[in-house]
Amino acid sequence: MMKRILFVIILFGVPVHAGETTFESMARYYNDSETQVFSPHTRISSSIMKDSVVIGAGYAEDVVVSASSDVRSWSSKGVISDLRKEESGDLTFNLQSGSVTGYFIQSDENDYHSQTYGLSTTRDFFQKNTTLDIGVGLGVDHVGNSHEIGFNAPMQHQNVTIGITQVYSPVSIAQLLFDFTAENGFLSGSYRLARLGQTDGSVIGIPENSPNSRVRESLAYKYNHFFKSINSSLATTLRIYYDTWDVKSATLEERLSHDYGKHFSMTYNIRYYQQGQANFYQDKYDPTNLPVFFTGNKTLSNYFTALAGLRPTFHFGKDWEAYAKVEYYIERFGNFTDVGDPLNPADDKLYSINALILGAGFSGKF
């Protein structure tokens, strides 16, 4: 078969000239004392046919062990473990003044299967100082439940992104990015329980019931500037978000990178996120006045997160780098409580997370 392909290539003169290949591999470890997640990730891409086509592929895993409040209070063992595998592939055609990319992502875990298909295109204007991106994605998910054989709830999502990137000067660049995602189908957690507060202060859980439609919109502004005098770059990201469940949020992130000589650089980053609750969220519902929709999802409550991190990078060879990452992350919930023992109201307190995130990886071109 290979000979036939080679024959066709030689006969018809298809110019398959291998070009640049980019390789990246990294691993990330998250630990908040209740949940540990190990996430290795690898990606390779290569340009062929005089750089007019780029083929890419990736593989990622999330190995999760959790005894968080969600799990501890309601699961039979008090701890769960899961493995998520993700395979991806993409193909980019570089055109006259832009590109067209198609991609596919398959993600599987014990009780969740997802396939995402996407197409995107870019176009450069004004001598490549302005770039317009349009991206389209379609996802088909199937939600399972390991406690209920045959449970298979579908969920579909559509995604559209529009981005404008503007080069202001050789040292500054900005991007405005609009993201639209519509989800339709089973949007509840297949295990997650909403809490019903009882008159004696105890709590019982019932399977949550979320609306089957959610439309999310966000707008992000990114600005990067390189300061020659101090050999450093500053990247600022501001993102605002709104959805039809009335969740509103804002994110502010700053990243400062400084080159310490030719072979070593350090990136310092901080991020702050603040969110308002969904319109049907309650920490504990009144069983005598239960609304149509009720949830136990803590990410639909009022909360904020903050992150601070360091990323030392060692540059070697022509285009290679190796890096490490250390981040400290907190979540503080305003109206989601750690029920603890459902029968003991005394140990009920606002939930919070303190997590350490470690990472290491390398990337390069050859």
Closer to another protein by Cβ: residue 29 or 293: 293
Residues that bind another protein (CB under 8 A): 11-13, 52, 94-98, 100, 119-123, 125-127, 132, 134, 136, 138, 156-158, 160, 162, 180, 182, 184, 211-213, 215, 244
Closer to another protein by Cβ: residue 12 or 199: 12
Phi and psi, residue 109, nearest 5°: -140, 180
Please enumerate in sequence order all residues whose Cβ is within 8 A of that of 171, keeping only pairs 6 or more positions apart, or say none: 225, 226, 227, 228
Closer to another protein by Cβ: residue 28 or 214: 214
Alpha helices (H) along 13-129: 69-74
Task: Say if CB 143 and CB 153 are below 8 A apart.
Answer: yes
Give pairs for 73-76: CB < 8 Å, separation 24+: 73/205, 73/339, 73/340, 73/342, 74/191, 74/193, 74/205, 75/191
Q: How far apart are CA 304 and CA 35, in angstroms?
A: 19
State in angstroms the smallest separation of the CB of 183 from another protein.
8
Nearest-CA neighbor of 141 among 159, 151, 155, 157?
155
State in angstroms the smallest separation of the CB of 244 from another protein.
5
State in angstroms the smallest separation of the CB of 196 from another protein.
24
Backbone φ/ψ region at 129: left (φ over 0), alpha (ψ -120 to 50), beta: alpha
Closer to another protein by Cβ: residue 161 or 335: 161
Task: Say if CB 236 and CB 222 are below 8 A apart.
Answer: yes
Nearest-CA neighbor of 158 among 119, 122, 188?
119
Could you give the angle at the alpha carbon of 243 between the alpha carbons of 239 and 249, nearest 5°? Answer: 35
Task: Say if CB 14 and CB 6 are below 8 A apart.
Answer: no
Closer to another protein by Cβ: residue 212 or 297: 212
Nearest-CA neighbor of 94 among 62, 43, 128, 126?
128
State in angstroms the smallest separation of the CB of 182 from another protein.
4
Closer to another protein by Cβ: residue 60 or 187: 187
Give pairs for 65-68: CB < 8 Å, separation 24+: 65/35, 65/36, 65/37, 66/34, 66/35, 66/36, 67/34, 67/35, 68/32, 68/34, 68/35
State in angstroms the smallest separation of the CB of 251 from another protein.
23
Nearest-CA neighbor of 177 among 190, 189, 159, 194?
159
State in angstroms the smallest separation of the CB of 162 from another protein.
6
Closer to another protein by Cβ: residue 21 or 94: 94
Closer to another protein by Cβ: residue 57 or 182: 182
State in angstroms the smallest separation of the CB of 218 from another protein.
14
Closer to another protein by Cβ: residue 51 or 148: 51
State in angstroms the smallest separation of the CB of 140 from another protein.
10
Could you give the angle at the alpha carbon of 244 between the alpha carbons of 239 and 245, nearest 5°? Answer: 95
State in angstroms the smallest separation of the CB of 92 from another protein.
12
CA trace torsion 363, 354, 239, 117 (10° rounding):
50
Closer to another protein by Cβ: residue 66 or 92: 92
State in angstroms the smallest separation of the CB of 210 from another protein.
12
